[in-house]
Amino acid sequence: MSRSRPLLLGASASAAVLAAAVLASSATARVRVQDEKPFVQAASPVAAGEYLMTVASCHDCHTAGWVEKKGMVTKEDQLTGNPVGYYGPWGTTYAKNLRQVTDRHSEDEWVEILRTADHDQGALPMPWHDASKFSDKDLRAMYQYAKSLGPKPVRLPRNTKPGVKPTGRYIDLTVRDSTAP
């Protein structure tokens, strides 16, 4: 039976091995930090995603009539976007049809969109700062839920630029001072 001998390296080789070990452990640490974020446990990822979309209030904007109907909207009409605009200093935005987003993008792209505020193109009033705090597992569950509903094309108005008033229905989110003359 042979005994293994320790591998003796020169100073530069030892430094290279140490550097590689540090890089590997920092990459692992980044993964672990993400993996250690809290996440929802449910019977399936789709069930977790359905729960998350509800408690995170995604439906409030992305499902037309959700608030008015107290969440009593058929699955057929959920997450298809909203023709009521959100008007503010940024212009007017319309909540996207998330079913179409999941139809056009992969799960990895969905996670990237929510992590980066749609590559810094995401519009208000979407709470991008909150969306980026979900664990990857939860973001993937949300994707799987929206994807499970299937694609449903719904025509929505286009966003407008700052200063352009919308022509249809909208919610005014501008700040007003009631004490000003």
Integer angstrom CA distances of residue 36 from 16, 21, 32, 39, 171:
30, 22, 6, 9, 38
Integer angstrom CA distances of residue 143 from 110, 129, 147, 181:
7, 18, 6, 48
pLDDT at 132: 85
pLDDT at 42: 87
pLDDT at 16: 42
**DSSP structure string for 95-122:** ---HHHHHHHS-HHHHHHHHHTHHHHTP
Contact 83, 156 (CB under 8 A): yes
Cα 82 from Cα 100, distance rounded (Å) = 13
Contact 140, 107 (CB under 8 A): yes
| Per-residue confidence in pLDDT tens, the chain, 181 aa | 444 444 444 444 444 444 444 444 444 444 444 556 778 888 999 999 999 999 999 999 999 999 999 999 999 999 999 999 999 999 999 999 999 999 999 999 999 999 999 988 888 999 999 988 899 999 999 999 999 999 999 999 999 999 898 989 999 999 988 886 6
Closest CA to 33 of 135, 114, 127, 129: 135
pTM for the structure as a whole: 0.76
Q: Quick check: helix, strand or coil at residue 40? A: coil
Residue 74 burial by CB count (10 A; 0-12/13-18/19+): exposed, middle or buried? Answer: exposed
